[in-house]
Chain A
């Protein structure tokens, strides 16, 4: 099986380890991965800021470039939700609408793809660590639900998975929201981190690059980076970019 892996802009530029992890996780499940480096951004920032007209060009470009038969796998729930649903705001017609219909049917979030195609049993991985999983909102509510990720995480041996009482509450990133009302955005993130750090995890795993940047940015800003590492869940499986336990703690 062959898929086109789309590592979206934030992950490509700021979290390349997570992108590598996504590729290797797919490969470990026996999937051949190709990457089209012409694909950059799905257009989400402009849509979420209420300017769908400015995202239209990006959406059309995406639709044109993804005009192949391969499944498109994205390790980011919000980008999947964008391509699947929000492109509906762009008044697509004719060939573009046709392309969108085709893409909608074969764009998947990473865990969603592995679970829907029944590939998770091929995945074996070990991660001897305390891990708290925080659900990224779009992944949870618009794409895969918490189910797909839970099924995938069952394949992770050695990890003790911890459930934070605030695991389903927004981390406060929200794209432009994080810049328009930064104090509020940070307060939301702090509340989630406070609840998670009580569980003394080694890793805090999320399903979207924006959420990883938000929580790791706050941990670093508060000088708490040694308490836990914020990662994309794929990294738990492949070890890409995981920092070992700090001996000094």
Chain B
């Protein structure tokens, strides 16, 4: 993997990306603010949603068997997958046994996470993404850059060009025109699909209902028409009751897209539609590890609304691809130690200034910025030992310098002397630390605050020895 800093530089210099990010995030932030402020108290709604998710996570071991039993009673097959490979194998087997040649897939982050599209393709099944954003990304051979808006990194003109080149759609940059044209190309896909793959927003333990939200209607079209429906989701997506799901629906669309409700809210009954086979694939893939990771367990509360990345000032500057895997933004940083591929676990937590904007908007109360500090602690074992050692010795040196009155003053004096006697060497160090050129490093004060304060106190009451005239 290329150096993270280089990737960041490249994204900062990408004017098209910068324009797309500024535009899209400007719109979605504004819509969210409007949508949450029209509620009497969004904070109350958040508190309820947080309690629902917290309870669901604590009670996973009760809710999951309850859900399974409920669904099995009604004829929905429940499959448990330990990891991505097992999940893909199971779904490929389902397709194989039924000679599925054509599969329509609606937007599912878990399907992205486990690499399901590639697995099905390798097994000889044609997969067409039916969500507009996912379809664009699929045609362009790219990856989604956002969990609710897969092609947020592209301008409408770029989307138009991709659709023109790859799908023969008339060149345009009018989103409405483009989405209609794509819908027309998808119609035969829906009619021919022998299997539909979807995600799940909430699986209700008590009733066995699967709740799915979407805006385009493509998901519903797919899984109501195809003879086989495979719903794939993480084991954490279970909630206790339909009332719990309703509490989450009060905050999810407002947080995600700034809508009061999505255009479609589907509550699938536990019994498959007549003539249809349905499978629910529950994927662990690291979630149990998160469950057992002390305070990090809270990451399992996430309902994948994307509000944290929309609010994130780092995401705003560099977009989602920099994070290097399925889940970008603050939630991606805290999921990475458990769900992420090894190669992203070392550096992903660097992509955060700990500002807390994510925690402020999270509708289920995940203390994201605090968990990112913990994720940084977990990242050390994935980084080169020499790098960690260097970082630790620098911090140890800092600790010693700060560790007493004398060393503190000596380190300040050293800084002043270095500035006077070895300005070039100091400038090199400052440059290594990224404080040079367009951001000037601060110079050490001629006189420390503590000295100035003491002198003033001494001048006022005639005492001059350290410790008096200002000591506690």
Binding site for B on A (CB under 8 A): 4, 7, 9, 11-16, 18-20, 23, 33-38, 40-41, 43, 45-52, 54-55, 57-58, 61, 68, 70, 85-86, 89, 137-138, 140-142, 168-170, 172-175, 177-189, 191, 213-214, 216-218, 220-222
Q: Could you name 11 residue pairs across A and B whose Cβ atoms are closer than 8 Å?
A: A7-B450, A12-B445, A12-B448, A23-B453, A50-B375, A57-B403, A177-B352, A179-B435, A183-B8, A186-B434, A186-B439
B165 within 8 A of A: no
B359 contacts the other chain (Cβ, under 8 Å)? Answer: yes
Contact string, B417-445, partner A, CB cutoff 8 A, digits 1/0?
A: 00000000000000001111111111111
> B8 touching A46 by the CB < 8 A rule?
no
B113 within 8 A of A: no
Does B176 lie at the interface of the complex (its beta carbon under 8 Å from any beta carbon of A)? no
Contact B449 A177 (CB under 8 A): no
Count of chain B residues near A, Cβ 8 A: 67
What are the 4 A-B residue pairs with the smallest beta carbon separation, nearest first?
A: A182-B434, A50-B376, A174-B353, A19-B449
CA distance A187 to B319 in the complex (A): 13
Q: Which residues of A contact B4 (CB under 8 A)?
A: 181
Taking A15-B445, A183-B12, A221-B437 as contacts, is the C-beta distance between A35 and B313 under 8 angstroms?
A: no
Nearest-neighbour CB distance to chain B for A232, whole angstroms, equals: 11
CB-contact partner of A175 in B354, B440, B454, under 8 A: B354
Partner of B453, one of A35, A50, A138: A35
- A54 adjacent to B447 (CB under 8 Å): no
| Cβ contact within 8 Å between A51 and B472 | no
New contact pairs (13) apart from A181-B434, A221-B436, CB-CB < 8 Å: A9-B408, A12-B449, A19-B449, A34-B470, A36-B471, A37-B467, A48-B373, A50-B379, A179-B433, A183-B5, A185-B439, A187-B317, A221-B438
Q: How far is the CB of A19 from chain B (nearest CB, A)?
A: 3
Cα distance A54–B389 in the bound complex, in angstroms:
12
Q: Tell whether, in the assembled complex, residue A185 and residue B12 are in contact, meaning their CB atoms are under 8 Å apart.
A: no
A177 proximity list for chain B (CB < 8 A): 350, 352-354
CB contact under 8 A between A54 and B452, given known A183-B12, A217-B439, A218-B439: no
Nearest CB on B from A21, distance (A): 10
CB–CB A185/B353 < 8 A: yes
What residues of B have a CB within 8 angstroms of the CB of A189 in the complex?
Answer: 439
Question: Are the C-beta atoms of B439 and A214 separated by less than 8 Å?
Answer: yes
B241 close to A (CB within 8 Å): no
A37 adjacent to B357 (CB under 8 Å): no
Could you tell me the distance between the alpha carbons of A221 and B427 in the complex, rounded to whole angstroms?
A: 14
Tell me if B405 is interfacial: C-beta within 8 Å of chain A: yes
The one of A34, A142, A188 in contact with B353, judged by C-beta atoms closer than 8 angstroms, is A188
Q: Which chain B positions have C-beta within 8 A of A16? A: 445, 447-449, 452
Q: Are A174 and B355 in contact (CB under 8 A)?
A: yes
8 Å CB contact of B314 from A18, A52, A188: A188
Please determine whether A50 and B380 come into contact, CB atoms closer than 8 angstroms.
Answer: yes
Q: Which of A13, A49, A68, A140 contacts B391 (CB 8 A)?
A: A49
Contact of A51 among B359, B392, B449 (CB under 8 A): B392
Instruction: Check if A141 sits within 8 Å of B405, measured CB to CB.
Output: no
CB distance from A166 to the nearest CB of B (A): 9
What residues of chain B lie closer than 8 Å to A191, measured between beta carbons? 317
A10 CA / B471 CA spacing, docked (Å): 20
The distance in angstroms between the C-alpha atoms of A59 and B467, with both chains bound, is 22
